[in-house]
Amino acid sequence: MTEPAVLIEGLEVRRGGRLVLPGITLPVGRGRVTGLLGPSGSGKTTLMRAIVGVQVVEAGVTTVLGLPAGAPELRRRVGYVTQAPSVYGDLTVEENLRYFAAVLGVDAGRVREAAEAVDLRDRLGQVVGTLSGGERSRISLATALLGEPELLVLDEPTVGLDPVLRRDLWTMFHALAADGITLLVSSHVMDEAERCDELVLLREGAVVAASTLRELRDRTGREDLEEAFLALAEESG
């Protein structure tokens, strides 16, 4: 078995005086789509920030692609998309992508490919501030695709998107995974679990389960993931 893309050991994070992650240990498999599921406030974003290396942590070791999380070498190899789209609202789609392409040092030709991947090619000349919320999160995602990262950390990338586009994005995620890219995708919508290779269920900063959907169903005897989650939550107290 190859070493995991991400290995988290005893990670503790305190935010605003509260222990948000009280000691998580978790591997994330390479070349797979791992879904990070849990209710809002369960620590999904904090965990993702720790993996990307932008979170101040209290204790624990997070290894990403064989290096400590946040190592300068990883800035080129890890793509991170925050929940709120972090792009310049007063620039056009193309200007945004061109700027981030220049920062990453990738060919300007990647701009069109990235826009194509999120179905924004006909919006290239439009100012981002005039786009819909869904389009804005897609350009944020396109920005992360520019550098052809080995690990993509996506915080709720499909929230508020139309079902057709959501399906297309998940198809793209799996195509990326087939190319060997590791994806960690968070969601608070349980029905997106169907689309993930692996699931990590998070509740109050603790990993309630980390397995495939099938294993989860077998273990709890529940078909519905919402109910399976409830069963596990009660089991763990």
Residues that bind another protein (CB under 8 A): 15, 52-56, 70, 72, 75-76, 78, 80, 82, 84-91, 95, 98-100, 102-105, 127, 143
d(CA 138, CA 161): 9
Report CA dihedral (184, 189, 190, 193) to the nearest 10 degrees.
-30
- Closest distance to another protein from the beta carbon of 33 (Å): 21
Q: How far is the CB of 221 from another protein (least distance, A)?
A: 41
Q: What residue type is 44 in one-letter code?
A: K
Cβ(80)–Cβ(146) below 8 Å: no
Closest approach, Cβ 47 to another protein, in A, equals 15
CB 59 to another protein: min, Å: 14
**Closer CB to another protein, 120 or 201, in the complex:** 120
Beta carbons of 7 and 40 less than 8 angstroms apart = no
- How many angstroms separate the CA atoms of 55 and 57, rounded? 6
Q: CB-wise, 109 or 163, nearer to another protein?
A: 109
Of residues 76, 47, 219, 60, the one with CA closest to residue 149: 76
Q: Can you tell me the distance from the alpha carbon of 7 to that of 233, in angstroms, rounded to the nearest whole number?
A: 24
Nearer to another protein, 156 or 198 (CB): 156
Q: Shortest gap between Cβ of 60 and another protein (angstroms)?
A: 14
**Which is closer to another protein, CB of 146 or CB of 185?**
146
Report the candidate in 65, 76, 52 with the shortest Cα–Cα distance to residue 186. 52
In terms of CB distance, is 56 or 164 closer to another protein? Answer: 56
